[in-house]
Amino acid sequence: MARPRLLTIAHSYVVGLNRRLADEMARGGTWEVVAAAPRSYAGDHGPIALEQTKEGCRVVPVGVRRSRWPHVMSYGQELRELLAERWDVVHCWEEPYVLAAAQIARWTPRSATLVFATFQNIPKRYPFPLRWFEGLAMHRANGWIAFGSTVEAALEARPGYAGRPHRVIPPGVDLDAFHPDAAARRSIRGALGWPADDGIPVVGYLGRFVPEKGLKLLTAALDGVTRPWRALLVGVGPLEQELRAWATRHGDRVRIASGVRHADVPAHLNAMDLLCAPSQTTARWREQFGRMLVEAFACGVPVLASDSGEIPHVVDGCGILLPEADVSAWSSAIAALLEDPSRRAGLSGVGRARAERYAWPRIAAEHLVFFEGLRNGGLAV
């Protein structure tokens, strides 16, 4: 009997590390898995050419247009022709309210089961044409995947989503890439001009340099910590110059790393003694998952995080949760953790155990169980 055929599509697949879901779904050998990935995509540091890696799935390069603007990014004829082949399941890792999702909904043959995945955890009324894209996509969808409990709560009663089978399946983490690494710790600290282990802990941040990620709160909180500390802020974004000005006031104990490649993120995490994720809820955004949380867990780095959005579900008692806007609470919690190596070691252990929940083989298996249920028509909503 021929194996069922799965086509999974995502603009993020231009980066090899982001294709771990497709890779793991293929590794069991029960499904034939093909990943459609952009030949090139506009990245934060400039254009990203499709990364070629050795993996279990077949990767098909396709053209995209307007990739600087994700809401109106579009695929071309190559993807349309690929979708015209025989597929049992088409998995779309594009938000249902973007143009690319509407394209895929229109081009997917009726004989194929179509599944969308979404991070949207705030019920929004989109402007035209985004609400039209979403309506078209979800009218065609056979099911959907919520990347977290807050996503399910926001969308399960929404027109187009309600009444369709869905599952809460979080994103995963690559435990082969993200793990404790003493050599990487020494290497990165040396490159930053810091001793590998001189007793001064490094407070870390990983993510976009934007207001909603709470960097102003973090810098204010660190200003209030009297115990010796160093800070390593890894990311890119419009707040970079403001962060560099703040760093200048602290001399040698702050580093801003804005050119870190995806492949070098695990090493930079290993250079940290704790990771802060002070995300701030706004009227239009709250933390949707927090990939840096599970990556830090996997590297054995203790986590302090705000209670924004999906974060409490991800941390689940394995890190320290703090109020979003309470600077003094953050200062106190950072200071207490800096002063307590044994507590940091304890959090490191429970964090590594927590990361197992997000291991890609487990996440891939949950996807395939859902897809098989949809194909067989036996899933409850």
27: CATH: 3.40.50.2000
Report H helices in the chain. Answer: 20-27, 77-83, 99-107, 130-140, 149-155, 182-191, 215-223, 240-249, 265-270, 291-298, 311-315, 327-338, 341-355, 360-376
Give the β-pairing of 89-92 and 64-65. unpaired
**Chain-centre distance for alpha carbon 160:** 25
pLDDT score recorded for residue 381? 65
pLDDT score recorded for residue 17? 87
Q: Is residue 27 part of a domain?
A: yes
Q: Are residues 27 and 52 in the same domain?
A: yes
pLDDT tens digits for range 226-272: 999 999 999 999 999 999 999 999 999 999 999 898 889 999 999 99
pLDDT tens digits for range 337-355: 999 999 999 999 999 999 9
Q: Is residue 120 part of a domain?
A: yes
Q: With 90 as the cut, is the pLDDT of residue 45 above it?
A: no
Q: Are residues 126 and 248 in the same domain?
A: no
Backbone angles phi, psi at 300, to 5 degrees: 75, 25
Q: Is residue 68 part of a domain?
A: yes
Sheet strand arrangement including 320-322: 254-257, 230-234, 202-206, 274-277, 303-306, 320-322
Task: Tell me which amino acid residue 222 is.
Answer: L
Q: With 90 as the cut, is the pLDDT of residue 41 above it?
A: yes
CB-CB contact of 370 with 169 (8 Å):
yes
Q: Note down the domain range covering 341.
A: 182-358
Q: Is residue 177 part of a domain?
A: no
What's the average model confidence in pLDDT over 81-109?
A: 98
DSSP state of 323: -
- For the chain, the straight-line distance linking the first and the last C-alpha, in angstroms and rounded, comes to 29
**Percent of the chain residues topping a pLDDT of 90:** 93
Q: Is residue 26 part of a domain?
A: yes
Q: Are residues 71 and 148 in the same domain?
A: yes
Confidence band (pLDDT; 50, 70, 90) for 2? confident
Q: Are residues 352 and 366 in the same domain?
A: no
Q: With 90 as the cut, is the pLDDT of residue 280 above it?
A: yes
Q: Are residues 133 and 242 in the same domain?
A: no
Q: With 80 as the cut, is the pLDDT of residue 276 above it?
A: yes
Mean pLDDT of the residues in the chain: 96
Q: Are residues 239 and 277 in the same domain?
A: yes
Confidence band (pLDDT; 50, 70, 90) for 380? low
* Separation between Cα atoms, residue 118 and residue 78, nearest integer Å: 24
* Separation between Cα atoms, residue 117 and residue 10, nearest integer Å: 10
pLDDT tens digits for range 204-225: 999 999 999 999 999 999 999 9
Q: How many domains does the chain have?
A: 2
pLDDT score recorded for residue 259? 84
Q: Are residues 133 and 230 in the same domain?
A: no
What's the average model confidence in pLDDT over 82-90?
A: 98
Q: Are residues 19 and 137 in the same domain?
A: yes
What's the average model confidence in pLDDT over 289-311?
A: 98
Q: Are residues 86 and 215 in the same domain?
A: no
Q: Is residue 283 part of a domain?
A: yes
Three-state secondary structure string covering 324-346 = CCCHHHHHHHHHHHHCCHHHHHH
Q: Are residues 280 and 326 in the same domain?
A: yes
Q: Are residues 211 and 293 in the same domain?
A: yes
Q: Is residue 381 part of a domain?
A: no
pLDDT tens digits for range 304-339: 999 999 999 999 999 999 999 999 999 999 999 999
What's the average model confidence in pLDDT over 42-51?
A: 86
Q: Is residue 307 part of a domain?
A: yes
Q: Are residues 130 and 235 in the same domain?
A: no
pLDDT score recorded for residue 378? 65
